[in-house]
Chains A and B, each alone.
Chain A
């Protein structure tokens, strides 16, 4: 029985690894003088995700800088401001910024009801 469930969930080990790397990156960022380590871990996270073609949730994906792959946590190493009716995330490491819509009717695909077809528990 146990074996069946493992076979059904494709890429479980990759997801476990990605989850662990995210935790590591978060942990290293909160300790002084380890921002290089944190950045390297999140860089590895993005690489693993791209190689294995297992995607991250939009919330998680947005919290990683697109340019230098550093984990951005507002107040510690990033800045969030509203400018020109848009939400702006700025990375303090490479000073790259991302713009997001502030339109309340704008919806992500994952928030739709149709997006969830099946939920697996193991």
Chain B
């Protein structure tokens, strides 16, 4: 590994050299510091700190597998012991976050606005944990009219806690959801929301004016 200081000096001769010298002085280990004095205009060779070829250092594995997560009880939510009243703080936080994120004030955008699509994309990329969802249409008849706070979102489901203190798992695909924020009403077509929540914030979203059901 060689580093030629004359490359840097083309534009600003002295300041580049001083910067390089300081950078090396800060970052090199102590035993190589004495070699710094031999730094001249031409080259400086890092030899003492170089690793020998052919030796691969193995790092210890850090992340947990799915099985291990299950063993530690952090893969799924518990089914019992949910209280609807305890989640009110979460709902308040969500409202604050949404108002901030959508930049609602001082004015609420309408569909004629030039940045209407922008507004929609921001909405689709935001977080739904903490929202108050209602199912308005579903192929599963039992779930129509169900209301509750979202506690977890996965690729295919919303998990909500109803006012009767039950954890319910709603499948996204055959359902249509609504939620309200202040005096605005939003509708989510579950069919178009099938995506992992972590990937949602970077995914490019197509705007469909007429959703097919």
Contacts and interface: CB of A to CB of B under 8 A. Distances in A.
Interface of A: 2-3, 6, 13-14, 16-17, 19-21, 23-24, 27-28, 31, 33, 35-37, 39-41, 43-44, 47-48, 50-52, 66-68, 70, 93-94
B76 A36 contact: yes
Nearest to A42: B74
Contact of A48 (B81, B103, B198): B198
B101 interface: yes
A20 B92 CA distance: 12
B93 A13 contact: no
Q: What does DSSP make chain A's interface, helix, strand, loop or mixed?
A: helix
Nearest to A93: B72
Given A13-B125, A20-B127, A24-B93, A44 B81 contact: no
A88 B50 CA distance: 30
B50 to A, nearest CB: 24
A83 B77 CA distance: 36
A33 B82 CA distance: 9
B78 interface: yes
8 contacts: A2-B103, A13-B101, A16-B101, A20-B97, A37-B151, A51-B199, A67-B63, A70-B74
